[in-house]
Every structure is written in C-alpha cells, then in structure tokens.
C-alpha cells in the first residue's frame, strides 16, 4: 500500500530510500524499456546503501496500491 517509514525488523528509516529506488527504477524503464531485473534492482539498493536483507525486502516487496485503493 504505502511504504512503511521504518523497517519492521531493524527500525532503519527506509521510506526515503524507497522514493529514490522508485526514481531509479523509473529511469531504467524509460531508458531500457523494461522493468529492472534482479541484478539492476540489487545495484540500485547497493548504491542507496541498503545492505540488510530485512530492509531490502521491505523495499522490494512493497506494492504501490494507494492510487487504486484511494477511490474507495
Ligand atoms: Zn531492516
């Protein structure tokens, strides 16, 4: 739905990283024309400094559904 502000497991602030992750993903979609693959997503997270797998799963597993749900 909406990205949680902090990681559920370790408490690291991840919401600001998610915004940058989404921007980088959009850049790849515009340049290459497809969703970033696993290696590209991994590189984006490494560049953002998201190292722990608990934080990485928060960002990777988030589904942005707020625009679809907000009309209800
Ligand atoms: Zn974490």
The confidence score (pLDDT) of residue 67 equals 83
Among 65, 48, 61, 47, residue whose Cα is nearest residue 8: 61
The confidence score (pLDDT) of residue 1 equals 77
Give residues whose Cβ lies within 5 Å of ion ligand 1: 7, 9-10, 12, 52, 54-55
- How far CA 66 is from CA of 1, 32, 53, in Å, comes to 5, 26, 25
Interval between CA 71 and ligand 1 midpoint (Å): 31
Burial of residue 56 (CB within 10 Å: 0-12, 13-18, 19+) is buried
Q: Which residue do the tokens 């970033």 mark? A: 36
The confidence score (pLDDT) of residue 16 equals 94
**Taking the chain (72 residues) in consecutive chunks of 10 residues, what is each chunk's mean pLDDT?**
92 95 94 91 95 96 88 88
Interval between CA 29 and ligand 1 midpoint (Å): 27
Interval between CA 16 and ligand 1 midpoint (Å): 14
Among 14, 43, 4, residue whose Cα is nearest residue 27: 43
The confidence score (pLDDT) of residue 64 equals 85
């Amino acid at each position: 739905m909406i990205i949680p502000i902090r990681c559920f497991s370790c408490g690291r602030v991840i919401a600001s990283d998610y915004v940058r992750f989404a921007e980088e993903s959009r850049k790849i979609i515009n340049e290459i024309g497809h969703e970033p693959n696993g290696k590209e997503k991994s590189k984006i997270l490494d560049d953002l400094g998201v190292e722990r797998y608990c934080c990485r799963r928060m960002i990777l597993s988030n589904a942005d559904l707020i625009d679809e749900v907000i009309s209800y």
